Structure 1
């Protein structure tokens, strides 16, 4: 008799204390749960062993990356239905991991063990960063390793996901009808206008990625740009783009830690989607370094993902899935913390703009690109890596839509002699 799905549903509902909101299909072909929506597919018993040996988000992530778990139907709808049950979000949330850790030898856990038929724990998927917690020291070496893990997975794969713009940060949308390419161009132009770029200025682009900001600023605003990245693959790609654009006399791309840049001062600094990699313990050092690289009157545009503040900030834990598979060593902070540290470093914070809804649209655009070319994605990187990116981008889109994550552009100034900021009285004119 094929009834694994019914047994799984019963165990899960006892553990969680509530009904499962979507349909299950088990390895024996059986199904259980409400019809008509997305289906959570448990392809084999190994998925259960992963969860038993690593309760919570990391065990589920391993099962997903390895292909032991899948979703048929709308992935966004499935994640929205499951998010409050499986992923532990917020200080008061109780997810499946917490239930498993607390219930010990209760009958439901014994039944799950019987269904899983435990053997030695399955090895983590190859895409998992081993011992990711060590990367939170944020030494030069560990930061290079973390950036390599995330970005050196194939420029062709990123081109498939990001599209022609090759911009891996939140776009700036006029409306959902915009194209991703147009929205990314508008974001780059918004950054240039906030920085007040003019011909002859020097711009430092920290975390320059594949060179899109550097090329746009040099081509459209006549500035000289130094772009720094820790990714050798990104740098090689960016240098070719710079050469193809005929901008080698104005744009230099370096494989260099921002802490080692020694040829300031610069008139402006852009840091777009890079500061998430800095780490809480190093953030003040980051801010002071950029302040020191700016000429008096120079502007910093810091574009950074944020999380809501917690009642006990000391209890904040990095997301296990993100840390192991996506951004090893990455840490998020509330925007107020970021602004305060920039001020402590000597900056005057002059403008803050939230682009939260813009990032949700951007991520949905990237997921659409990935799903449209899905058969090629696993060829250009690995099938597991493609599954990582699909899950993290879809889940992140929902997090931005529901306010669990935010993203902000903070414009800060290193005051000139006498305290002048160089900004117009009506700041949003961006002149």
Structure 2
């Protein structure tokens, strides 16, 4: 077989009913497709079997993670060209699904079977999370999902994120700013929106590796409680707190957000400590893990944990609203390899749920373009540190992160998804919000 690339190109175009926009290099060394286009290198015929058994995004993702396919050339350009054929058609399924109903296309599928070999489907790469049964967003299931994503090694994340160890959208003063400067500016923007002052109490929900907690304690003199359900994140955050001598101002807990309020009320009832609500709450890149079935509970708990006049800064990725003809589909690759059980909601739904909990929403800032820049920085850092990354985790895990970050950057750039900072206030009895008349003047 010395013409696999030509046969694959012809069959793919027949199944998809459009010209293939990338060049194919097959495992036999043959090439076919548009000259000068990015090259999709199919290194192992097992990739064809994966697509036959699991057409669409998940089949391609498994082949990518296993190293059976790769992109030679500009990864962003290749993903852009392939997006309409994969992600945008996922609702109908790629042509291989239609082949089950179309005799003409069934013949093409049989030809693909000859190319891939008549063997059973290869097992998914070990980086894929096994599906769990039971209700979504129980404490146990959420712990497992968070561990799958975050407990892959702090050394790996340091290679990708850099010294800041901030795993959320940065805030760039200009496109040429460094990632470190932009992450510092994001943390400071949050602190200024919350109007943090010395001696106040801040709850940082989903504190990650402790960057926001450290910034608030170091620069604003506040007392911070940071919570996460990732054991590895908490261990690293505690080390950073100790190194900076801030243990008297920063406490890091391995704790579910649902347990903060009951613990505080229980301590107060037992006489161990009075229940003192927090002056401010930051939730940066955490609410995507909460889920629709729990979001009302999440908003109500944060409301109860704030003192009257206290502020919440909710920093959250959002999807676009659906039309009446559209159905929401969970991204198969993201759900299986990256953020299991993660859910995105339109920002309007988030605002409505915060208001239903009693908050007054005072400001909403979209920083979508900033996340695209952030992700491109992370991809560049991963590619620069590739050899160290694959030794720190696995080649498959590093490939997962490279693909998801590059694809996510394009999603933000093309306005498929966004990210917003919502500033909300727990109303005081007097009705005063404590915000300046010009709400965009954040002080500092």
Q: What TM-score, normalized to structure 2?
A: 0.94
- Relative to 1, partners in 2 of residues 1:275 and 1:136: Cα closer, same or farther, differing over 3 Å? farther
Deviations 1:162-181 (A, max 9, x none): 00100000000011210000
Give the Cα separation in 1 of the matches to 2:334 and 2:135: 13
Alpha-carbon contact 1:203-1:224 (below 8 Å) kept: yes
Match of 1:36 in 2: 36
1:118 CA drift (Å): 2.6
1:125 aligns with 2:137: no
- Relative to 1, partners in 2 of residues 1:97 and 1:229: Cα closer, same or farther, differing over 3 Å? farther
Alpha-carbon contact 2:363-2:424 (below 8 Å) kept: yes
- Relative to 1, partners in 2 of residues 1:94 and 1:124: Cα closer, same or farther, differing over 3 Å? closer
1:71 aligns with 2:36: no
1:406 aligns with 2:418: yes
Give the Cα separation in 2 of the matches to 1:256 and 1:206: 9
- Relative to 1, partners in 2 of residues 1:181 and 1:341: Cα closer, same or farther, differing over 3 Å? same
Deviations 1:2-54 (A, max 9, x none): 10000000000001111011100001000000121310011111101111111
1:97 CA drift (Å): 6.2
- Relative to 1, partners in 2 of residues 1:283 and 1:260: Cα closer, same or farther, differing over 3 Å? same
- Residue among 244, 250, 273 paired with 2:285: 273
Q: What TM-score, normalized to structure 1?
A: 0.96
Match of 2:27 in 1: 27
Alpha-carbon contact 1:84-1:95 (below 8 Å) kept: no
- Residue among 360, 365, 380 paired with 2:392: 380
Structure 2 SS opposite 1:5: helix
Match of 1:110 in 2: 110
1:336 CA drift (Å): 0.5
Match of 2:317 in 1: 305
- Residue among 273, 291, 305 paired with 2:303: 291
1:18 aligns with 2:33: no
- Relative to 1, partners in 2 of residues 1:199 and 1:158: Cα closer, same or farther, differing over 3 Å? same
Give the Cα separation in 2 of the matches to 1:204 and 1:78: 42
- Relative to 1, partners in 2 of residues 1:27 and 1:220: Cα closer, same or farther, differing over 3 Å? same
Give the Cα separation in 1 of the matches to 2:332 and 2:202: 36
Match of 1:427 in 2: 439
The answer to which of 96-105 and 73-82 deviates more is 96-105
Give the Cα separation in 2 of the matches to 1:89 and 1:422: 48
1:184 CA drift (Å): 0.2
Give the Cα separation in 1 of the matches to 2:134 and 2:336: 10
The CA RMSD over aligned residues, in Å, is 1.6
1:73 CA drift (Å): 1.0
Alpha-carbon contact 1:279-1:330 (below 8 Å) kept: yes
Deviations 1:219-252 (A, max 9, x none): 0001000000000000000000011111000000
Q: How many residues align?
A: 429
1:106 CA drift (Å): 2.1
Give the Cα separation in 2 of the matches to 1:59 and 1:136: 26
1:280 CA drift (Å): 0.8
1:249 aligns with 2:248: yes
Match of 1:51 in 2: 51
Match of 1:139 in 2: 138
Alpha-carbon contact 1:86-1:96 (below 8 Å) kept: no
Match of 1:194 in 2: 193
Match of 2:364 in 1: 352
- Residue among 373, 380, 404 paired with 1:368: 380
Give the Cα separation in 2 of the matches to 1:48 and 1:54: 10
Give the Cα separation in 2 of the matches to 1:313 and 1:353: 29
1:315 CA drift (Å): 2.9
Give the Cα separation in 2 of the matches to 1:166 and 1:45: 39
Alpha-carbon contact 2:379-2:405 (below 8 Å) kept: yes
Alpha-carbon contact 2:217-2:250 (below 8 Å) kept: yes
Match of 1:336 in 2: 348
Give the Cα separation in 2 of the matches to 1:388 and 1:290: 33
The answer to which of 222-231 and 255-264 deviates more is 255-264
1:349 CA drift (Å): 0.6
Match of 1:389 in 2: 401
Match of 2:203 in 1: 204
1:90 CA drift (Å): 8.2
